Amino acid sequence: MTMPIISYGEVLIDMLASGSGGKDSTTAESYTRYPGGAPANVAVAAARLGASSFLLGKLSKDAFGKFLLDSLKQYGVDTRFIRYSESGKTALAFVSLDSDGERSFCFYDDNAAHKDFSIGDLPVEAFQIPSIFNFSSGTLAVPGPREANLRAIALTRDSNGVVSMDINYRAAFWESQESAASCTREVAGGVDIIKTSGEELQLLFGEHGVDEICSEWLDSGVALVIVTNGGDPVVYRTRSISAQTAIPSTPVVDTTAAGDAFVGGLLYQLSMLCENRQDFRALCADQSKLAHIVSFATRCGAVTVSRFGAFTSLPESDDLL
């Protein structure tokens, strides 16, 4: 039996600039809408690879909300746990790309539907069997979604599932860098997997080294810590393993969903290899299996950066051959 993957958090519209030149560019004359949002991207990435993939979150009843729901279904995501906000609007992220495909964001998310999620919206039935519960740390920035997130973590642990946190730090989601760092540290001890980037660690915990932060998380009970570094090798650590995997060489046109593709590929592999938390913990002592899983995830990211958009760029299994 495979483990279902439940991704929790925002689903929004990425408005991708037609020109290049970065956030200060004046060359972009139009924007194209793409469905996006980190948790939604992970849900689609896992679904396209063949996992049983669910999105847990809240949509607006506006036209963008309908577009997002249709897009999730089109890409194979199970939407039965989607809730709807009576007053919230669909958040927009205006994305500009520089000449290397690196992106910058400008978020319009006041009164966003995904911020309207509360503990009463949690479908308890979703957590009755072992699953992989994945969330981005941005869901911890707002009281309602944070309370629901913490409850979902507890329900996952009670059902012998696996909890995965993708830090995915976006300063615009938080009151301050200090509050983001403090909240992330507080929650980290209750999860099994942490995926982050070297850049995020520097922004959040600049006074501490990467090794120090990773060791702190592992000592607190985290089983697997993964740190990506753009085109440099991915570092992964457990209590008994410290290793790295090179990134495949690929032409880069858009890095928007690269990290989400990596997480989706990682969780897909874990869902195929594990039936519960004990299986996952045992796997974290197996260097050969971990190397295969991380390599697979890097290939998912490599395919994604060679394409534009978020959902549209995520690979299927045939793309990885």
Q: What is the pLDDT of residues 167-200, one digit of tens each?
A: 999 998 999 999 999 999 999 999 999 999 999 9
**Count of CB atoms situated within 10 Å of the CB of 272:** 13
- Closest residue by Cα to residue 225 from 251, 186, 178, 191: 191
For the cut 90, the answer to whether the pLDDT of residue 255 exceeds it is: no
Q: What is the pLDDT of residues 40-73, one digit of tens each?
A: 999 999 999 999 999 999 999 999 999 999 999 9
pLDDT band at 137 (very low <50, low <70, confident <90, very high): very high
pLDDT band at 210 (very low <50, low <70, confident <90, very high): confident
Mean pLDDT for 119-124 is 97
What integer pLDDT is reported at residue 126 of this predicted model? 96
Domains of the chain listed by start with CATH number = 5-320 (3.40.1190.20)
pLDDT band at 101 (very low <50, low <70, confident <90, very high): low
Which ranges constitute the DSSP H helices of the chain? 38-49, 63-74, 143-158, 177-188, 198-205, 210-220, 258-273, 277-283, 287-305
For the cut 70, the answer to whether the pLDDT of residue 99 exceeds it is: no
pLDDT band at 29 (very low <50, low <70, confident <90, very high): low
Catalytic residues: 260
Say what the alpha-carbon torsion angle 98, 103, 108, 109 is, to the nearest 10 degrees.
180
